[in-house]
Amino acid sequence: MRYFWLWVALPWVLTLGYYVVRQVLPLTWRRRLRPVDLMTLCLLIPLYVMLRFKYQLAAGSLILVFVMLAGMFSAFFLAWHRGEILFKTFFKFWWRLMFFVNLISYVGCLIGLIFVK
**Domain-by-domain residue ranges, the chain?**
4-115
Task: Give CA–CA dist 26/94, Å, rounded.
Answer: 25
User: What is the tens place of the pLDDT at every residue in 39-58?
Assistant: 787 788 778 777 777 777 77
Q: Is this prediction's pTM over 0.75?
A: no
* Residue 90 near residue 77 (C-beta atoms within 8 A): no
Phi, psi of 40 (to 5 degrees): -60, -50
Task: Say how far residue 41 (Cα) sits from the centre of its chain.
Answer: 5
Mean pLDDT of 81-87: 87
Tell me which amino acid residue 54 is: K
CA angle 116, 45, 87 (to 5 degrees): 125
Q: What is the pLDDT of residue 87?
A: 86
For the cut 70, the answer to whether the pLDDT of residue 91 exceeds it is yes
